[in-house]
Amino acid sequence: MYSLFNPKKMPLTPFLFFTGKGGVGKTSTACATAVALADQGKKVLLVSTDPASNLQDVLEVGLTNEPMAIPSVANLSACNIDPEESARAYKENVVGPYRGKLPEAVLATMEEQLSGACTVEIAAFDEFSHLLADETILEQFDHVLFDTAPTGHTLRLLQLPTAWSGFLEESTHGASCLGPLSGLEGKKEMYAKAVASLSDREKTALLLIARPDNSSLLEAERASAELKEIGIRNQLLIVNGLLQTHQPEDAVSAAFYSRQRQALQETPEALKQVMTFALPFVSYSLTGVENLRHLFSSYAMTNFEVEDASEEALALPGLNQVIEDFSEKNMRVIFTMGKGGVGKTSIASAIAVGLSEKGHRVHLTTTDPAAHLAYTFAGSEARDNLSISSINPQIEVARYKQTVLANAGNGLSEEELAYLQEDLESPCTEEIALFQAFAAVVEKSENEIVVIDTAPTGHTLLLLDSTEAYHKEMSRSAGDVPESVKKLLPRLRNPQETAVVIVTLAEATPVLEAARLQEDLKRAQIEPEWWVINQSLYATDTADPILRGRANSEKKWIKKVNDELAPKCAVIPWLQEEKIGYTQLKEFIL
């Protein structure tokens, strides 16, 4: 199996970027690496640009957006740049000059255009570009570590010449993420230096963090390929949370170990070409400097710190209570939402099966590939009251792009067309395209409960809503809105018809990201109905000391969700085997 990652025993570049999907352990890995390098006498600066950063929680010290020395670690400084605050300032810089000159409706649309993930990404890149382009930084520090790296999409946008032209100010082509780049004037040289530093193997290394599970490894493969495309080829893969030993007599422990090894055997081929290391699954919380120091020592695997579990056990309902609630209220549209890897598809499938068992006609649709749904329902006989469809993101996005290019591409120069085509590669494009496909499914299913796996963000809903109301006045729009979308937006805001289920894990980053998603939805006047905490070790009866220690560390996050965030909360235990087929799904929820 892979060698354990240990920054004390390998040469590392001055700039280190840690990237990976939410919940894989980017922050803890970055912090532990920073502490290890500082303990060797290296001058280290640790920078977080994660909107849901818990850097201050891991280091147990208050942080600001200015570098400050960490009292418990000589040679280490850290700062916590809030890209959302940067994005607010960035947005005002773009919109401010138009206040009092344009109608309020147009200003509202411009502000919403600048409220999505793309603006936060651009603002974050704006912040750490100063560090990458400033030669004096490397005179002060031996290493600068970034918790969260820019996406390939952002970097490709910044390399396109049209991103810097007046075309941004006058375009009406209807692309989805155009607005965020309209505040870049005057920074081309600094950004060019930053992008050059990222591509320099002697200066920069990208550390792809993944869990030993299929979805996390697939995400790492995608990020690796995307960033290689724009020149960042010095990459390492770190498989985080790999259980080193297990107890064969403990069913949960044996299944946990076996499933991780199976996922590693199925690692995507392209990712196998990347130099790979592992970090152990540990029983204790990776917070506090001493615990971070233990991660690269034998202590991580030979000593177990099981938290005191003497407090009264938490008793929360299971998924059957969620299904019962939706059945009694006769909900018509049910969305499962959450970050990748939390189990949205499985939860949506189980809800659909549970409602069909109660006699409802149900239609389940998802953006996962058709083969995945076929796998989930393998061996299942057709059911009269349950139908299943799969919306293919590639087909829907291609159709949407074709429509935008047909409506807006005529008369554009070659450079302008290149910009438009790159702009259409953004995540927002996919959201809008898929939302239109969802709307069409719901419109055709008036006589069924529609369960939809993966929903649009509140930002997309507001963007579409503002487009519907103000499209004649907008200087940049998402294009004409289909009638099915216009009908669906008010319906989604009706709690008597529509319910949103937020799916998360009992860990810091997934919970914090889910909380941000909930606030995003509330901006769009949508109130989530239930939170489901999935794959909980706390809810199992494992006696494995490592898994039990981690189970007890979940408790504070379960309490936070139940006491502070969720109107209603359910917990699903970590399952020893995947539930495949209608019959197994039915047994799972009963």
Which residues participate in catalysis according to the annotation? 23, 25-28, 50, 509
Residue 200, token pair as written in the block: 């320099």
Please say whether the beta carbons of 366 and 391 come within 8 A: yes
CA atoms within 13 A on the CB side of 364: 28
Question: For residue 548, how far is the Cα from the chain centroid?
Answer: 27
3-state secondary structure 345-365: HHHHHHHHHHHHHCCCCEEEE
What does each C-alpha distance from 120 to 90, 100, 177, 356, 430 come to in angstroms?
9, 26, 11, 41, 18
Amino acid at 334: I
Distance between CA atoms of residues 563 and 114, nearest Å: 33
For residue 550, give the H/E element and its range. helix 545-560
208 has which bridge partners? 19, 237
Neighbouring residues of 579: CB distance < 8 A, sequence distance ≥ 6 = 346, 350, 585, 587, 588
Helix segments in 49-116, DSSP class H: 55-59, 83-95, 104-113
Whole-angstrom Cα Rg for the chain: 24
Cα dist. 44→74, 75, 78, 138, 471 in Å?
A: 9, 6, 8, 10, 49
> Rounded CA gap, 536 and 282, in Å?
16
Residue count of the chain, please give it. Answer: 590
How far is the C-alpha of 489 from the C-alpha of 455, rounded, in Å?
A: 12
Q: How far apart are CA 466 and CA 471, in angstroms?
A: 7
Query: What strand order describes the sheet that includes 530-536?
Result: 386-390, 362-366, 449-453, 333-337, 498-504, 530-536, 569-573
Gap between the Cα atoms of 281 and 229, Å rounded: 32
